[in-house]
Amino acid sequence: MRIRFFNAKILSMKEGCDIFEGELWTSNDKIIYCDKTDKIEDYYRDNPESMLVFDREIDCHGNLLMPGFKNAHTHSAMTLLRSRADDMPLSDWLNKQIFPVEAKLSAEDIYYLTQLAILEYLDGGVTSIFDMYLTPMSIADACRDAGMRCVQVGAVNNFSQSVELVEECYNTLNHRDKFNSYILGFHAEYTCSKELLESVAGLANKYKAPVFTHISETAGEVAGCRERYGMSPVEFLDSLGMFNYGGGGYHLVHTDEKDWDILKKRGMYVVTNPGSNTKLASGIAPINEYLKRDIPVAIGTDGPASNNCLNMFREMFLVTGLAKLRENDAASVDATEVLKMATVNGARAMGLNDCDVLEEGKQADLILIDLGQPNMQPINNIQKNLVYSGSNSNVKLTMIAGEIRYEDGKYNIGISPEELFAKANEIKARIDKEL
């Protein structure tokens, strides 16, 4: 499939590259041209074998092509729990609502509930997710069948999964199909015994691989780790050799200078989740401190039980807005840096280095933003306006691996929204009866 996008504004997200007027061409799953319109003749001269016939030509009408958003922390199948357990303290939320329902979920349930989340990702311009949940194989199937790029991370803890399963998924899902990959991980320090954590660290060192996990989400979590081990979660996990080959942490709200030094030394990523942290009153992450130390930050929504939506536009606004409040400085955490977090940094945190920017030879993972809406006019600074004013309604088209999966309100994932809505409500009704 060869597609030509023309009459477009293009934000490649390449370092030092401004928005330009041009064209972008895709062939199968790759970008084969992304440059100014007046460079096309040069391209044909240098690539005389190039095909001149496209299967489809899309007039962008001056709208914006850019890399898709990378939702760098998700629990997609928690769509079932959306607005089911709101306005509760975190401990009650988890123990009285979340865990009892999750215990009833089957792999098939999680397949359909993940695809329900995929609808929301697509109409919000998300082209890759970094997912952690209970049944990795059915999640991988759901994403493959829907054409969503998914990186999963291990979720082993004292109560579910196992180190053996994490290793099996690592060796299977990294080679299975073009949509799925897998990174070593575990749920959190406070849900894992020391012996279990040592086993995960052993895998990291065996495969010379990065590890991701929830870290320092709440003040109580940090206090508990200090009581158990005399160290913060970041310090303790690093002492086990967990991050010898990098990785990162979800949340990282309650950290200090020792933690920051470790994050920097190990080349780790911070994945911030401001919507979830706000709703659960977990706190505001010190994003400005991470940026001052050149610690890369990516953005995730967390799951739809704790957020409750999967909207990267809202997360971007909260990243910069909350940082300004925390620092009491309206200049803190520039919006252009936040846009990089939501695209380039997310891709690199997930190991998707061929999905980070729009460039010849990269994966054709992109979105088309409608600039002809009131919230985008007049055009002063498109990048900053995306962060401060953008919304899902501005997403006209979402392409993943060269296939258009969403366009002008219509989805192309092999199943209709109505079927997924019916499946989700069937699952809800069954579980309600079982509880």
DSSP state at residue 83: T
Name the class of domain 2-67+360-411: mainly beta
How is residue 105 written in tokens?
């979920």
Long-range contacts of 331-334 (CB under 8 A, 24+ apart): 332/288, 333/287, 333/288, 333/291
Report d(CA 83, CA 80) in Å as an integer.
9
Report d(CA 53, CA 264) in Å as an integer.
49
CB 210 within 8 A of CB 184: yes
Burial string for 174-206 (b: 16+ CB within 10 Å, else e) reads eeeeebbbbbbbbbbbbbbeeebbebbbebbee
Nearest partner of 355 among 179, 202, 195, 187, judged by Cα: 179
Nearest partner of 147 among 171, 172, 170, 180, judged by Cα: 180
Q: What is the pLDDT along the chain (435 residues), one digit of tens a residue?
A: 999 999 999 999 999 999 999 999 999 999 999 999 888 888 888 887 766 689 999 999 999 999 999 999 999 999 999 999 899 877 788 888 898 999 999 999 999 999 999 999 999 999 999 999 999 999 999 999 999 999 999 999 999 999 999 999 999 999 899 999 999 999 999 999 999 999 999 999 999 999 999 999 999 999 999 999 999 999 999 999 999 999 999 999 999 999 999 999 999 999 999 999 999 999 999 999 999 999 999 999 999 999 999 999 999 999 999 999 999 999 999 999 999 999 999 999 999 999 999 999 999 999 999 999 999 999 999 999 999 999 999 999 999 999 999 999 999 999 999 999 999 999 999 999 998
Report d(CA 173, CA 190) in Å as an integer.
27
How is residue 379 written in tokens?
């055009």
Options 2.40.128.280, 3.20.20.140, 3.40.50.2300, 2.40.37.10; CATH of 69-349:
3.20.20.140
Range list for CATH 2.30.40.10 in the chain: 2-67+360-411
Please give the single-letter amino acid code of residue 231.
M
Residue 292: Cβ within 10 Å count:
10
Sign for the CA dihedral angle at 277, 282, 283, 286 comes to negative
Report d(CA 178, CA 176) in Å as an integer.
7
CB 104 within 8 A of CB 431: yes
The whole-number pLDDT of residue 51 equals: 60
How is residue 76 written in tokens?
């997609």
Report d(CA 228, CA 44) in Å as an integer.
65
DSSP 354-402: TSSS--TTSB--EEEE---SGGG-S-S-HHHHHHHT--GGGEEEEEETT
Range list for CATH 3.20.20.140 in the chain: 69-349
Residue found by looking up tokens 């660290």 in the block: 201
CB 149 within 8 A of CB 173: no
Residue 244: Cβ within 10 Å count:
16
